[in-house]
Amino acid sequence: MDEETFDGLMVSTDAALIVVTTAAENERAGCLVGFHSQSSMSPQQYGFWLSKANHTYQVSLRATHFAIHFLTASDLAMAQRFGARSGEDTDKFRALDIHSTEQGVPLLSALPNRIVVERISMLDDGGDHVGITARVISSETTGPFAPLRLSHIGDLSAGRDNDSRAIDPKAGG
């Protein structure tokens, strides 16, 4: 397979970016995500993929609910906060205005275009990300917006790279 050609195709799609937040056992987590999509119209479902290198993935193994915050073109600072820092090393939520759902999921006031979802399934097919399929339980929006896209973030360095993932998928983790 020609990895360069595949990478070029994926960059050309210029994915919209989201921030996923969750909590389990009073531990909050959140990360920048580029792999996501509506996965069913009826019932309404959403799918997203979390990197196994992320602290959010570790918390997601114990979580049942998530918030999907849709980033607007003016949300670059939030993309940097949740994409370029590791939740293992820093509190990404510090000094942010947040409130929590009844399930404890942190909702970011600065990112009001969002859905709250309940996990249906998690798929680990051996890649460096796991897929989560979830049922939409609520949605909020301020109206139409231009999304923040991959091309808008430049050379943002991830808080953790895939080589440092906590669980090796080949080890059955």
* Per-residue pLDDT, 163: 52
Indicate the domain borders of the chain. 3-163
Say which residue the tokens 């669980």 belong to: 167
Question: How much is the pLDDT for 173?
Answer: 35
Burial bucket for residue 131 (CB in 10 Å: 0-12, 13-18, 19+): middle
Element (H, E) at 114: strand 114-123
Phi and psi dihedrals of 120, rounded to 5?
Answer: -100, -50
CA–CA gap between residue 104 and residue 16 (Å, rounded)? 26
pLDDT averages per 10-residue partition of the chain, 173 residues? 85 90 96 96 97 94 98 96 82 95 97 98 96 98 95 68 46 36
pLDDT of 136 reads: 98
Give the Cα separation of 135 and 77 in Å (integer).
29
- pLDDT at residue number 12: 79
pLDDT of residue 170: 38
Q: Cα dihedral sign for 93, 94, 95, 101?
A: positive
pTM of the model: 0.87
CATH code reported for the domain at 3-163: 2.30.110.10
